[in-house]
Amino acid sequence: MIFIKLFFEYFKIGLFSIGGGLATLPFIYELQVKYPDWLSTADITNMIAVSESTPGPMGVNMATYVGNMVGGLPGGIVATLGLVSPSIIVIAIVAHFLRKFKDSPIVEAVMSGLRPASLALVCVATVSVARAAILRTELYEQTGVLLDLFDIRHIILAIILFVAMRKIDIHPIWYIVIAAVVGIVFKF
């Protein structure tokens, strides 16, 4: 039964998350609310960090991670298959019809409408990740002190890395390594 749930939930995510890995995040957060025993908000934040720093698509890495946590290796395989199945099906159908209608104004209009939808999904995901990375809502709720709401160390590290990425042209993996070392040294 758990494998059917995993497949179905990740099939839905794969079907409706247009725009790539970050676009899956709103659905992952919804999944966390629906099945809190599957993953926590902290798990999602950790999954994002690991998925962004490992090879492969972020959504696939996250599906494999959650599936593995819930149902072991078979769960990881089932969740991953659930996530990628809609893409395979849709791409096969779209490729067939696009060849026939590639110059159609309707197809152009559909593609034009999907771009802002993808952007909106990625923006929602970005805000969710930023909130998880720099806000400490539990501490703020306990103390009521506004400064406790923000994790200043994380904000400073994010700003430094952002500026460095804009100014220093090195491979992104080095920024991931640097952030990991800073996290270890300063016990983030």
Tens-place pLDDT, residues 69-106: 999 999 999 999 999 999 899 889 888 877 887 788 88
Tokens of residue 168, six digits: 């220093």
pLDDT tens digits along 127-161: 888 888 899 888 899 998 998 999 999 999 999 99
pTM (predicted TM-score): 0.59
Enter the tokens of residue 144: 């009521």
What is the Cα–Cα distance from 185 to 77, expressed in whole angstroms?
Answer: 35
Cβ pair 58, 20 in contact under 8 A? yes
23 and 118 Cβ atoms separated by less than 8 Å:
yes
- Evaluate whether 157 touches 179 at the Cβ level (below 8 Å): yes
